[in-house]
Chains A and B, each alone.
Chain A
Amino acid sequence: QVQLQESGPGLVKPSGTLSLTCAVSGGSISSSNWWSWVRQPPGKGLEWIGEIYHSGSTNYNPSLKSRVTISVDKSKNQFSLKLSSVTAADTAVYYCARVNSLYGSGSYYRIFDYWGQGTLVTVSS
């Protein structure tokens, strides 16, 4: 059973950089899966931040692309998120998740099948 666990500071100052790590257990980060970050502001909906493959290939949400860096550390079986120039609008629960591909109707469909428990990051001075 794959498990994901987010860790990092729960409080970040405005204009600073938010840094989180997602530790993967029960499976290898070098498997044929992408690994993703999703966030949820308090009382609001889900927003996809970006994803990474173990090769280092990344895809980012265009609305956050200029401020986001996602990296992978295969030796530690973990991946990380950095979000720069944060404001109060970046206050959210941040989730890491595994992207899996399921086959159906002649195509592969990408889904988030395993999630971390989420970690609240507050941006405040």
Chain B
Amino acid sequence: DIQMTQSPSSLSASVGDRVTITCRASQSISSYLNWYQQKPGKAPKFLIYAASSLQSGVPSRFSGSGSGTDFTLTISSLQPEDFATYYCQQSYSTCTFGGGTKVEIK
């Protein structure tokens, strides 16, 4: 099984800050990496696929990068609506999610 490890598990940031979340796979998954945003009491929302391709309608302040085993989600200027938990997910071999990163207000 492919394990996905996210870091940090939580972070505190202010509106306007640049935020970076890291996701590491236990083996190479090429670019088969997706990112989701989840707000309390809601289902996850799909943000990015193929490591760096933005889903239609997702603000351009979100970006993704990486390939192989190391990936990054960056929010260039944090907005109030971005406070949420973010999950990476690999689709190289069935499916595994990372443990999540909670972005909280500083």
Residues of A within 8 A of B (CB): 36, 38, 45-48, 51, 59, 61-63, 95, 97, 102, 104-105, 107, 109-113, 115-118
Contacts and interface: CB of A to CB of B under 8 A. Distances in A.
Contacts of A115: 43-44
B46 A111 contact: yes
A104 B49 contact: yes
Interface bracket on B: 20 to 34
A45 B94 contact: no
Nearest to B53: A104
B97 interface: yes
B94 to A, nearest CB: 6
Tell me whether chain A's interface is mostly helix, strand or loop, or mixed: strand
B49 A112 contact: no
B10 to A, nearest CB: 12
B106 to A, nearest CB: 21
A111 B97 contact: no
B95 interface: yes
B74 interface: no
Contact of B43 (A47, A102, A118): A118
A27 to B, nearest CB: 16
A61 B94 contact: yes
A104 B104 CA distance: 32
A43 B66 CA distance: 28
A102 B49 CA distance: 8
B86 to A, nearest CB: 11
15 contacts: A36-B95, A38-B97, A45-B87, A46-B38, A46-B44, A47-B97, A62-B1, A63-B1, A102-B53, A104-B49, A104-B50, A109-B32, A109-B49, A109-B50, A111-B91
Contact of A48 (B36, B49, B95, B100): B95
A45 B98 CA distance: 8
Given A46-B100, A61-B94, A107-B50, 12 more contacts: A36-B95, A46-B38, A46-B89, A48-B94, A61-B95, A95-B44, A104-B49, A104-B50, A109-B32, A110-B91, A112-B36, A116-B43
